[in-house]
Amino acid sequence: MPRRIRTAKMLAQRVDINYFKRSHRLRSWRFYLSLAAIVVAAVWVLSFTVRHTRHAYSPGVVAEVHTIFGERCDLCHLPEGTGVHKKMLVSDKACLSCHDGPRHGKEVPVSTCTGCHIEHRGIKAQLSAVSETSCSSCHKTLNPAAVSFNSTHPEFPELKDPDPGTINLNHKVHMSAKVGATCDSCHLPADAPPCKPKGSVCGRASATYAFMAPIKYSDNCASCHNSMSFKTAFGDSAPHDTPENIEAWFAKNHNGEDAATAPAAIAAAEDQLWHSSCTVCHLNIDFSGKLPVIQPPAITNRWYKKANFSHDAHRSLNCIDCHSNVPSSEKTADVNLPGIKVCQECHKPEHAESRCFECHVYHEWPREKKIEGKIKLNQVVGIPAKRMAPLAELTAPAVRPE
């Protein structure tokens, strides 16, 4: 038998030229699997419509505060338009059904609620945690400009001007070894109980101490600057009171001792008291009149009026860590608040919260109006989707307040 020959022609001739008209196993499988995939996907999508649930379309779970009606997409996604153009967008009308959100100044362009507050970011998401761009979109063009806390936020304006207080206070002397005062000798949380017994150092019994209580003579100074500080020429101690009341006190206590000299002695004693005792603490006393005119203390109770701050959140720190100027402060005019650089050491990305909402508030809450809740519990909980009443039957649309 001759040796086997393989030529191109012979190889070509052994092939059935109609082979392409018949389907092959792999190709058939591919076709049927593709068909099956399309059918399964279509059936799955259609099942959402049949079961009246749009939950599968949700990009994520709603925040914890909204989970009570998390299954009721129609409570927030209100229909607009008809037919093909029908949309189910979240308008301010839906949010204002439960919340009021007073505008941030009348001159500011109106933004929608969802422009800043983004839902469907998970159950732990904080709806008030607005991104910096929501604020910087306007504030970057203002003067001073602010884009982010760690890059272009201006220095706190409260630090520019001296302390307007008129009480002569030398922190350095008070905190020296001789006097031995500590921060909480005078600065106590706003809701702490008064010191009892009087003169003792109070502990941090407050539950919140967001802000410090206003400084008052009776609460914070009297324990040391007591009656011994106001000795008169007569040997007794005058009360810490207004010049008019002290004058009356003098007249009452030293009247009739010596009819000839009492007025003069009283006047001398008063004069000595004004100049020796009052001027120790009170600055800029006006002696031009019959009685000295004492300036109001003008102690600033709250410095950062346009920002929120809580001492409670910082309770793990030492006071001097932030108020580092205090031990060396000798003048009343010293503003012993920490500057922005101190805050930026912790409040920066990957560390403590540094976005705008942490300190600043957009909505003018003093103008907040009370919203009457109209949704009943049994209308949102435990009801099959197809038997849920539309939103229009549950709430009346709210108008955005101006």
Partner 1 sequence: MRGHLWLGLLSLPMIFFHSGFKFGGTLTSTLMILLLVVVASGIFGAILQHLMPAMVTERIPMETIFEQIDHVRAQLVAEADGMVDAICGPPDLDIPAVAAVMPAGAAAAIPGSSAGVLPLRRFYNREMRPFLRNEKIRSRALINETQASAIFEGLKKLLPSADHETIDSLEQICEEERQLRRQVRFHHWLHGWLLLHVPLSLALLLLGCAHAVMALRF
**Shortest distance, CB of residue 210 to partner 1, whole angstroms?**
34
Residue 206, both tokens: 């407050």
**Cα separation of 179 and 281, whole Å?**
16
Nearest approach in angstroms of CB 400 to partner 1 is 21
Secondary structure of residue 35 in the 3-state scheme: helix
Q: Which is nearer to partner 1, 11 or 377 (CB)?
A: 11
**349 in contact with partner 1 (CB under 8 A):** no
Please report how close the Cβ of residue 26 comes to partner 1 at its closest, in angstroms. Answer: 6
Q: Which is nearer to partner 1, 46 or 381 (CB)?
A: 46
Contact 127, 62 (CB under 8 A): no
Could you say whether residue 180 binds partner 1 (CB under 8 A)? Answer: no
Backbone angles phi, psi at 383, to 5 degrees: -120, 135
User: Which residue has tokens 């600065």?
Assistant: 187
Q: Which is nearer to partner 1, 62 or 212 (CB)?
A: 62
**Which residue, 54 or 172, has its beta carbon nearer to partner 1?**
54
Task: Report the nearest approach of partner 1 to the CB of residue 97 (Å).
Answer: 18
Q: How far is the CB of 1 from partner 1 (least distance, A)?
A: 5
Question: Which tokens in the block code for residue 226?
Answer: 């007591």
User: Which residue, 38 or 307, is less far from partner 1 as judged by CB?
Assistant: 38
Using CB under 8 A, which residues numbered 41 to 100 contact partner 1?
Answer: 41-42, 44-45, 54-61, 73, 77, 86-89
Let me know: does 173 contact 196? Beta carbons within 8 Å: no
- Give the whole-angstrom CA distance, residue 259 versus residue 264: 10
Give the Cα separation of 305 and 361 in Å (integer): 11
- Indicate whether 6 belongs to the interface with partner 1 (CB under 8 A): yes
Q: How far is the CB of 122 from partner 1 (least distance, A)?
A: 8
**Count, residues near partner 1 per rule CB under 8 A:** 42
Q: For residues 382-396, b (16+ Cβ closer than 10 Å) or e, as one string?
A: eeeeeebeebeebbe
- Minimum distance from residue 53 beta carbon to partner 1 (Å): 10
Question: Which residue, 2 or 366, is less far from partner 1 as judged by CB?
Answer: 2
Residues 6+ apart with CB under 8 A from 188: 195, 202, 206, 209, 212, 213, 219, 220
Q: Cα 12 from chain centroid?
A: 83
Contact call for residues 385 and 71 (beta carbons, < 8 A): yes
Residue 275-314 contact track with partner 1, rule CB under 8 A, x = bound: ----------------------------------------
259 touching partner 1, by CB under 8 A:
no
Residue (of 83, 119, 82, 121) closest to 99 by Cα position: 119
How far is the first Cα of the chain from the last one, in angstroms, to the nearest whole number?
Answer: 105
Contacts of 112 (CB under 8 A, 6+ apart): 91, 92
Q: Which of residues 12-41 bind partner 1 (CB under 8 A)?
A: 14-16, 19-20, 22, 24, 26, 29-30, 33-34, 36-38, 40-41
| Cβ–Cβ < 8 Å for 289, 277 | no
Interface with partner 1 includes 11 (CB under 8 A)? yes
| Nearest distance, CB of residue 136 and partner 1, angstroms | 20
Nearer to partner 1, 22 or 370 (CB): 22
User: In whole angstroms, how close is the CB of 73 to partner 1 at the nearest point?
Assistant: 7
Task: Please report, as residue ranges, which positions from 117 to 156 form the binding site for partner 1 (by CB under 8 A).
Answer: 120-121
Residues in contact with partner 1 by the rule CB under 8 A: 1-4, 6, 11, 14-16, 19-20, 22, 24, 26, 29-30, 33-34, 36-38, 40-42, 44-45, 54-61, 73, 77, 86-89, 120-121
